[in-house]
């Protein structure tokens, strides 16, 4: 790890800046006068608040640690002189945010030399702040969390999500036709970071989704891992860092392999 980097210090800063952003987001969640434009497709929205929150967070990070780099979903791209790079999703679950649905969150992770070592996911409408530091466990509102011990996919509550591209959605719906009859039920919360944190705290037994960007999963995957879950890709490889087309799978250790096989057989790796 880069010299002088303390994962706990990075975690506490992640919580502080994510909370700052989440307060701004919560104040506007569900507002009817939000200015919205679309990004990749007509159903992929970005609002003025996504950009404001990203600016707020990046400015706070630069003020606290001027040598660090930062990459954000809405365009922040600051090189790192310190070896630390922040990954920022100013609003994960932008559609939930537009409608005022709890689950929209601010997700902030710190990466050191390519490894995520600290992260925070703040979901203000549920009143949840998840945080983790590498090797030091994961918490919800300061209390340690742990994933479930469910082993049988038939008894597992599984989260998933859908991309914005209609062709991808069709494939993801076809995967769901195969998965749904084989599990307890499916939840579509609308925010990948929350799906991962909920695997960590036992509100879900498992999760899979293809097509995420690194800022969607970086903090949530650390929370899930530090809470005892296994997080990997559907093809059995490590986390899909830099591979946005990989399908991420997360579950407790007793469930992970059977869930991975189940969703792979259903075609999730190609969806
Ligand atoms: C989206 C959410 C959603 C997932 C999509 C993501 P955004 O992030 O995490 O749950 O299904 O794949 O793009 O666009 O709201 O930041
Ligand atoms: Ca986003």
163 and 116: one domain? no
Q: Which atom of ligand 1 is nearest to the CA of 92?
A: 16
| Ligand 2 geometric centre to CA of 137 (Å) | 25
203 and 87: one domain? no
| Ligand 2 geometric centre to CA of 89 (Å) | 5
On average, the pLDDT of the chain sits at 95
102 and 161: one domain? no
138 and 199: one domain? no
110 and 187: one domain? no
> Of 80, 114, 144, which residue is a domain's last?
144
CA-to-CA dists, residue 205 to 20, 180, 198, angstroms: 30, 14, 8
Structurally, the chain folds into a number of domains equal to: 2
8 Å CB contact between 228 and 144: no
Q: Is the CB of 191 under 6 A from ligand 1?
A: yes
How far is Cα 174 from Cα 216, in angstroms, rounded to an integer? 23
225 within some domain: yes
Give me the percent of the chain exceeding a pLDDT of 70. 96
Three-point CA angle 133, 241, 93, nearest 5°: 75
pLDDT at 1 over 70: no
138 and 49: one domain? yes
Mutate to test the pocket of ligand 1, among 92, 173, 190 (most ligand atoms within 8 A of CB): 92
> Of 95, 115, 144, which residue is a domain's last?
144
pLDDT for the residue 48: 93
Please state the pTM of the whole predicted model: 0.96
How far is Cα 219 from Cα 221, in angstroms, rounded to an integer? 6
pLDDT at 147 over 60: yes
pLDDT tens, residue by residue, 182-192: 999 999 999 99
Confidence of residue 41 (pLDDT cuts 50, 70, 90): confident
CATH number at residue 42: 3.30.540.10
- Looking at per-residue pLDDT, the higher value among 129 and 241 belongs to 129
pLDDT at 243 over 60: no
What is the domain range of residue 137? 7-144
271 within some domain: no
pLDDT at 174 over 60: yes
Lowest mean pLDDT among 18-32, 97-111, 242-256: 242-256
8 Å CB contact between 90 and 72: yes
pLDDT at 241 over 60: no
pLDDT for the residue 87: 98
> Of 122, 144, 166, which residue is a domain's last?
144
Q: Which atom of ligand 1 is nearest to the CA of 91?
A: 16
83 and 113: one domain? yes
| Ligand 1 geometric centre to CA of 64 (Å) | 28
pLDDT at 16 over 90: yes
1 within some domain: no
pLDDT at 133 over 70: yes
93 and 220: one domain? no
Q: Is the CB of 190 under 6 A from ligand 1?
A: yes
37 and 20: one domain? yes
| Ligand 2 geometric centre to CA of 111 (Å) | 18
CATH number at residue 261: 3.40.190.80
Q: Is the CB of 228 under 6 A from ligand 1?
A: no
43 within some domain: yes
């Amino acid at each position: 790890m880069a010299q002088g980097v303390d994962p706990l210090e990075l975690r506490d800063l992640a919580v502080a800046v994510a909370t700052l952003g989440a307060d701004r987001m919560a104040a506007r969640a569900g507002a009817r006068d939000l200015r919205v434009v679309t990004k990749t497709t007509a159903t992929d929205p970005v609002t003025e608040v996504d950009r404001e929150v990203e600016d707020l967070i990046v400015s706070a990070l630069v003020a606290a640690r001027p040598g660090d780099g930062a990459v954000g979903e809405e365009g922040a791209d600051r090189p790192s002189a310190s070896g630390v790079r922040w990954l920022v999703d100013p609003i994960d679950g932008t559609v939930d945010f537009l409608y005022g649905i709890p689950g929209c969150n601010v997700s902030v992770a710190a990466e050191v030399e390519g490894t995520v070592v600290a992260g925070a996911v703040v979901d203000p409408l549920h009143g949840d702040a998840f945080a983790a530091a590498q090797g030091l466990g994961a918490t919800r509102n300061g209390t340690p969390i742990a994933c479930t011990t469910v082993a049988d996919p038939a008894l597992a509550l599984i989260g998933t999500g859908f991309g914005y591209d209609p062709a991808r959605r069709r494939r993801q719906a076809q995967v769901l036709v195969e998965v749904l009859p084989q599990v307890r039920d499916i939840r579509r919360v609308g925010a990948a970071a929350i799906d991962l944190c909920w695997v960590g705290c036992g509100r879900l037994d498992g999760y899979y989704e293809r097509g995420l960007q690194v800022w969607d999963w970086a903090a949530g995957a650390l929370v899930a891992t530090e809470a005892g879950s296994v997080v990997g890709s559907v093809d059995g490889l490590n986390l899909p860092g830099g591979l946005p087309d990989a399908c991420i799978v997360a579950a407790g250790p007793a469930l992970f392999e059977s869930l991975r096989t189940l969703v792979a057989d259903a075609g999730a790796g190609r969806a």
